[in-house]
């Protein structure tokens, strides 16, 4: 089904701890965007969120529309809230590893937009990684280029108020809307999203436990929540670029040693890059010539797959010059290639590894 990063606006509130407890129960790490005035009012509730592992970002001090402010006023809103958040992190005893920002109402400042984007970049704010976002609406609005955090789906649950016709059914309708006029289809197979939710006591009063009601429904629909990640600073980007270039060079060399073509090498490296866990395993082996074994598929690590490959290789030892074709480079590439395939469909390989050994079925060597 679809995958999503959860973001929650307008903390802190009385119901913030209840929301945080639910997220911990479901193992969901979210980015909570704080309004300075609200944090000052419910300081302990915000401390609780930090100490439970949530990330708290800047949502301005008083939640204004930035297009109605001068550039100086907009910057003052950001900086005043930064002072509040600095005190908050210090009180919680939590290191602030990343600074992120979301404009109130998604209003990026009108004619001051580019100046505000530059300000955020120059003052150490980081972009929530959105390269995985599949939304055409998101791309058409140029949101990949901005450093602030936007969204692809808005629950709209904040509209549940006394006297409002907007209800829980309205939220469920949005969740299942296949032709939204705003944002993108949430439950589309293979899609990736940034979700916008809110921590509002007014909504809690009208619909107690609304966070559990709606987020449980997403889980029942098969939505998988991903941990937020953030783009590195420019210096780190260059180091990563260099590291990837070296890994690509080395993978190409392994493919050459194993008698593979340049096209095979390109396809192999592309497969590595599509799996963050597998790329980390490959990088660790490059650096240490040992297996990290952090990533597992169906309970099998890369070392388990290598052992299986070596077991098959032993069957060739009595076959004269046949064994010369199966060197260490080939074994290593085969192991990583198999894990790539197992990520797509582990069942055939699990059955093989449970059933076969090198002497039992040498023909099954990958």
Assign domain 3-225 to a CATH class: alpha beta
d(CA 155, CA 141): 19
- Which is higher by pLDDT, 23 or 289? 23
- Domain residue ranges in the chain: 3-225, 234-364
pLDDT digits (tens, 9 = 90+) for 118-171: 999 999 999 999 888 888 889 889 998 899 999 999 999 999 999 999 999 999
Peptide bond into 12 cis (omega under 30): yes
d(CA 34, CA 85): 8
Q: Kindly provide the b/e burial profile for residues 50-66, where b requires at least 16 CB atoms within 10 angstroms of the residue's own CB.
A: beeebbbbbbbbebbeb
CB 194 within 8 A of CB 133: yes
Question: Is 90 exceeded by the pLDDT of residue 361?
Answer: no
Closest CA to 280 of 263, 264, 302: 302
CB 119 within 8 A of CB 125: no
Whole-number Cα distances in Å, 166 to 91, 127, 237: 38, 32, 44
Question: Is 50 exceeded by the pLDDT of residue 286?
Answer: yes
pLDDT digits (tens, 9 = 90+) for 165-174: 999 999 999 9
């Amino acid at each position: 089904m679809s995958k999503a990063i959860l973001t929650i606006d307008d903390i802190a509130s009385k119901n913030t701890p209840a929301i945080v407890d639910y997220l911990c129960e479901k193992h969901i790490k979210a980015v909570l965007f704080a309004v300075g005035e609200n944090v000052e009012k419910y300081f302990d509730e915000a401390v609780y969120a930090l100490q439970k592992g949530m990330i708290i970002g800047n949502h301005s001090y008083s939640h204004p529309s930035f297009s109605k402010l001068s550039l100086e006023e907009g910057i003052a809103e950001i900086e005043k809230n930064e002072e509040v958040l600095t005190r908050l992190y210090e009180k919680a005893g939590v290191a602030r590893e990343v600074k992120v920002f979301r404009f109130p109402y998604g209003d990026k400042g009108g004619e001051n937009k580019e100046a505000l984007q530059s300000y955020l970049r120059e003052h150490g704010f980081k972009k929530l990684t959105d390269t995985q976002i599949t939304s055409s609406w998101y791309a058409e609005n140029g949101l990949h280029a901005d450093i602030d955090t936007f969204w692809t789906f808005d629950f709209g649950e904040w509209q549940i108020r006394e006297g409002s016709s907007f209800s829980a059914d309205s939220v469920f309708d949005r969740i299942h809307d296949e032709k939204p006029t705003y944002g993108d289809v949430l439950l589309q197979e293979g899609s990736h999203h940034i979700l916008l939710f809110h921590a509002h006591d007014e909504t809690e009063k009208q619909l107690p436990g609304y966070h559990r009601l709606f987020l449980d429904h997403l889980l029942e629909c098969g939505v998988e929540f991903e941990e937020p990640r953030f783009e590195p600073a420019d210096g780190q980007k260059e180091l990563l670029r260099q590291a990837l270039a070296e890994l690509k060079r080395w993978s190409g060399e392994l493919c050459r040693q194993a008698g593979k073509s340049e096209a095979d090498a390109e396809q192999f490296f592309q497969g590595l890059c599509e799996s963050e866990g597998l790329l980390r395993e490959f990088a660790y082996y490059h650096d240490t010539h040992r297996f990290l074994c952090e990533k597992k598929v169906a309970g099998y690590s890369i070392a388990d797959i290598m052992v299986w490959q070596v077991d098959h290789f032993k069957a060739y030892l009595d076959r004269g010059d046949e064994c010369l074709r199966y060197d260490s480079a080939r074994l290593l590439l085969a192991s990583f290639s198999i894990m790539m395939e197992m990520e797509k469909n582990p069942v055939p390989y699990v059955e093989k590894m449970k059933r076969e050994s090198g002497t039992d079925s040498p023909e099954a060597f990958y």
